[in-house]
Structure formats: structure tokens, C-alpha cells
Amino acid sequence: MNNGFLGFDASFMLDFVVSALVLIVPVMLYSLYVVKVQKNFVLHRNLQVVLGAILLVAVTAFEVDTQWVHGGWENIVNKSPEAPRLSGEAFSHVQKVLWFHLIFAVSTPLLWGATLFHALRKFPNPPLPSTHSKLHKRLGWLSTIDLVMTSTTGLWFYYAAFIATAV
């Protein structure tokens, strides 16, 4: 899976994760609409569980591809050591963007996982508002903000590493 499908010479899995980052935020916002406006707690729970499972599988596959198949993100960005796409300041900039992205990319599954774990344990089945609702609302908004930041910074990394260098 050396070649992606978005046309910017990234790996297939990197293109897949970038596409997922674009799609996941609207689905998350729809899930918030479903619970906040429609009061459909079952659909909200189900959407969150499915989103969490899909992202867990996608990120795991991405990490396996990045670390084990390609030997690190540097080898995806600079496929040809003889003619690297990024070097010097440009490489350093992309590396800084990646480190900033990783703050959110690491905290998002932890925070979202904790939110899901506690919700599944503390809400009745079928889910209804309860004493856990106040904490769940805080954790949910923090998870949402974290996910939006993961998506935004992930797209920023992709742009800096592949799109800006293609023009």
C-alpha cells in the first residue's frame, strides 16, 4: 500500500485516514444534533460506538502501515532518499506540525474512550438522562473539541507534507 488515492503521493492508509478525518467530524456533529435536539439517546450511543470502533480499526491499521510497513512517517513523506520531497527547514516545519497534531491524535482516543466507557457503564440501557449526564456532557464536549483539533491538525500535516510540496 505504497501509493495513495488522493493524488499527492502519500500512502494508501494515510489517504484513508485523511479521508476519515474529513468525514468523521460531520458524523460527530450529527450525533450531537441527534442527542441534543431530537433527544434520541439510543441513536447517539450507537453512532458513538460505531464511530469509535471504526476509528480504532482505522488508526490501528494506519499505525501498522506507517510504522511497520513503511518504517516511519519520514519514509512516506520522503519515499526516495536520493530525491527527498522535504529537507532542511521544510522538513523541520512538517515535523513540528506533526508533533502538534500528535498532542490531539493521542489524547482523542483516550478521552473519547473514557467518555464511551463511562457512558456504557453508567447510563441505563436503553440510555436516558441520569446522574452521569453532567459529567458525560463535559467529557463529550471535550472529546468533540479534541476530535475537531485532531482532524484540523491532521489535515494541516497532510497539506504541509504533501499538497504544499506538490505545487
For range 148-165, the mean pLDDT: 94
Residue 2 has pLDDT above 90, yes or no: no
The whole-model pTM stands at 0.90
For range 72-88, the mean pLDDT: 88
For range 141-151, the mean pLDDT: 95
Amino acid 1: pLDDT: 52
One-character DSSP codes across the chain: --S-SSSSS--HHHHHHHHHHHHHHHHHHHHHHHHHTS--HHHHHHHHHHHHHHHHHHHHHHHIIIIIISSSHHHHH-S-TTS-S--HHHHHHHHHHHHHHHHHHHHHHHHHHHHHHHHHHHS-SS----TTHHHHHHHHHHHHHHHHHHHHHHHHHHIIIIITTT-
pLDDT digits 0-9 by tens, 101-116: 999 999 999 999 999 9
pLDDT bin (cut points 50, 70, 90) of residue 148 is very high
